[in-house]
Amino acid sequence: MADRVELITYADRLGGDLPGLAHLLATRFAGLFGGVHVLPFFRPFDGADAGFDPADHTEVDARLGTWDDIAALAQAHDLTVDVIVNHVSSSSPQFLDWLAHGSDSEWDGMFLTFAGAFPDGATEDVLMRLYRPRPGLPFTPYTLADGTKRLLWTTFTSQQVDIDVRHPTTRAYLRGVIARIAAAGVRRVRLDAVGYAVKTPGLTSFMTAETFRFIDDVTAWCHEQDLEVLVEVHSYYRRQIEIARQVDRVYDFALPPLVLHALLAHDADPLLAWMAIRPTNAITVLDTHDGIGVVDVGADGTDRSRPGLLGPDQLDALVESIHDASGGTSRLATGAAASNVDLYQVNCTFYDALGRSDDRYLLARALQFWTPGTPQVYYVGLLAGTNDIELLNRTTVGRDVNRHHYTSAEIDESLTRPVVQALLRLIRFRNAHPAFGGDCVVDGGGSAVTMTWTSGADLARLEADVATGAATVTWTADGTQLTAPLDGLP
């Protein structure tokens, strides 16, 4: 896949539906993105977790379009689609059939019950070891048609029922989902919530040795269908390095908080330290449909003796700095303040996290684009969007603060803003300059960062001061070396 900038977006929140998204990509954003990650478009796309709780993982929600629309997008762009490997919706036909027929259902064994996970029972100590992204135990009671009551494992919400990925029925189900996605011409799948997929009595049931073996299995199934695999896991940074060794792509989730720390604390050293050890087969992001992770740069949640890329005081200061920069709006959307699936992320647009400073925002994007890997830009970030407090108040879902529904008029208005125009020029520069096909050297210290890409005689250098937000780019063009401020690229 070409190493060009990619877009992450919901079809309904940017283009209205799949044809509308395709039209935007062919008109207002023509030639801008090499790839597109379309967030869940399965039925229903607007369930309990914004599409990550599909009732039917092989059906496109008719309100958004059809598989033909997905195939059309895949012909024009390298398309990424989510495979949700940890759970299904409680309204899925498979789960409803099991509730109706119990052990007589063809899907019996697919859903992870307490007894299935702990056949010998579980002590308080065993249960307290479980790692979960929100408080409380991950179990929800359900009553079958015959009156039998069962405890189902529900890692995220009570409407998202975890599946037993060891069971043959489950594995056949997942392989069917992968095959249907591949048939539409999709190039890459993102394994959603895979870190929680394997439950092992006595362990944390998060990113264990068995989880890594399951990732190997799913990766092999995907490769059989010529699909590249992107693993989505928020976890300790050294675990991300381990994951990167066995899959095609991982997210660099440490990058966003480290860039923010650099620009808000005027300290580039933790970012520079990460640059020296990070995996390069990475998708680089600053913002996604989720919040800004802090677990990715903190100490190991399962072994606090293993320090993070930022210390506890630095993490606390970072979170407070984001809240201050956003005028307190991120505080309303974060942690226990809203109905959050997880408590280890700050919910805020990246533009608001930097106090709506155009210079610092452009520098943050430049740091992302110069970092080795494939850059992805979230649709709200593309338009330098601000926190949607009206949507947050309406839904009380914290992450909705960064999930605005853009009208066509709002898109047109955003595209006239100087910060957005400068970002579009930066994206085109990153896509086109041949130096980015070569090697990158990173240097600096304190508040200074220099990132230099070279390929033969071609050069693209970013020199920045994270304390002031000032940055310049030096590049070659037709044998001539040019220099301009970051917002002055042609």
**DSSP secondary structure letter of residue 44:** P
- As a whole number of angstroms, the distance between CA 253 and CA 36 comes to 19
Sheet holding 439-445, edge to edge: 439-445, 448-455, 458-465, 470-477, 480-485
Residue 14 assigned as binding residue: no
Q: By three-state DSSP, how is residue 37 classified?
A: strand
* DSSP conformational letter for 303: B
Q: How many CB atoms lie within 10 A of CB 394?
A: 10
User: CB 357: neighbour CB atoms within 10 A?
Assistant: 15
Dihedral, CA of residue 356, residue 327, residue 310 and residue 316, to nearest 10? 180
* Residue 190 is assigned to a ligand binding site: yes
Residue 342 in marked binding region: yes
Q: 166 among the known binding-site residues? A: no
DSSP label at residue 196: G
132 labelled binding-site residue: no
Question: Rounded distance, CA 298 to CA 321, Å?
Answer: 16
Judge whether 320 counts as a catalytic residue.
Answer: no
Q: Check 232, 267, 287, 400 and give the catalytic one.
A: 232
Catalytic residue among 12, 17, 192, 388: 192
Residue 399 labelled as part of a binding site: yes
Q: Is 3 annotated as a binding residue?
A: no
| Residue 181 contacts residue 168 (beta carbons within 8 Å) | no
224 labelled catalytic:
no
Cα–Cα distance for residue pair 66/23, rounded to 1 Å: 15
Tokens 């960062």, residue located: 449
The one-character DSSP state at 371 is S
Tell me whether the omega of the peptide bond preceding residue 307 falls within 30 degrees of 0, making it cis. Answer: no
Is the Cβ–Cβ distance between 341 and 234 less than 8 Å?
Answer: no
Helices (H), 108-254: 114-117, 124-128, 168-183, 209-224, 237-244
CA distance 305 to 324: 30
The whole-angstrom separation of Cα 314 and Cα 324 is 15
| Two structure tokens written together for 419 | 């910060």
Query: Which tokens belong to 253?
Result: 């989730």
Q: In this structure, are strands 42-43 and 35-38 parallel, antiparallel, or unpaired? A: unpaired
Distance CA 143, CA 151 (A): 9
Tokens of 322: 């984001």
Assess contact for 80 and 189: CB atoms under 8 A. Answer: yes
Q: Which of 6, 5, 27, 4 is nearest to 15 (CA)?
A: 27
Annotated binding site: 49, 87, 190-192, 232, 289-290, 342-345, 399
Annotated binding site for substrate: 49, 87
Annotated binding site for sucrose: 190-192, 232, 289-290, 342-345, 399
Known catalytic residues are 192, 232
